[in-house]
Homo-oligomer: A and B are copies of this chain.
């Protein structure tokens, strides 16, 4: 059984955000697996996606499902916890312990709600870098992340060129494109218009118990973007849950049940304000912001960079990663770009580990 430690660090120095605003004080929750070696040269950082958390691997007591990348992280696995000290922090803005919109807003005895500042992926990365500094970690073996985790990995590469030996960014992009923003828009609008959301003044306990249909609807749209036409065909076909019900208005195709279950279940474990803030962070993600151009940003990279896209990814298309690779080539920057044959869609980075875990192992082994 994989051993892990969950810790929380409290920071009283202000976090200067990209927006010009300040977050102060703030907490960061993180989880670690494996042992830090003496010269602290065996650190691997894992960055999570939109609704992920610091719980990347291992099984919490009483839970049935392990961490979201448990297949990748553990003893003898691609990210081998017998060799590496793996650390995954919950991003600021999220709802799993790091400071987010439902955290208490000092000096008031109530949550920030909409008083929480807009955060960016750059801010998430900055906060993690400050956490690592406090932990005495000033250089890491690798930073690995998919989707919004990949955005963080790329930001680490650009902003802190000497920090990571290797950067592995999966299923991500250089700047969020309108197709992805559009899916986020559906979710944001659905949350905002739900009367139970109550303009942000909802009761989290009521939502956990009774759900929040607006967020469920938004999440259903999200799930479409996470899969692909082909994977849905293979997963669900035109299977119908009730044979006799084809002509009932609210009969159910398998795909409808899937979306309904996952949509409504989601509202039991994720916070709607965090969903609004993190989708906003994804929308405004642009690796080139603050630099003269994307080339200027990419030109800063010194880490060994590995870009992994998935051919059927409908959210961040493979040609978005190819674009980064092309720019790097023109800049004369050595890197590796892998386009994984998969028809699963975006979620392949969470599900089809066997298609890319060997690459990760090779990078960590220095091959």
Contacts and interface: CB of A to CB of B under 8 A. Distances in A.
A179 B230 CA distance: 8
A175 interface: yes
Contacts of A238: 175-178, 181, 286
A246 to B, nearest CB: 6
Given A118-B247, A213-B189, A179 B284 contact: no
Interface stretch (A67-75, A217-225, A350-358): A217-225
Contact of A247 (B182, B185, B284): B284
B118 A256 contact: no
Interface stretch (A1-9, A27-35, A164-172, A275-283): A275-283
Number of copies: 2
A262 to B, nearest CB: 11
A195 B194 CA distance: 9
Contacts of A228: 179
Contacts of A249: 114, 118, 276-277, 280
Contacts of A280: 249
Contact of A178 (B217, B255, B314, B317): B255
Interface of A: 18-21, 114, 117-118, 120, 175-179, 181-183, 185-186, 189-190, 193-195, 213-214, 216-217, 220-221, 223-224, 227-229, 232-233, 235-238, 246-249, 253-256, 259-260, 263, 276-277, 280, 283-284, 286, 314, 317
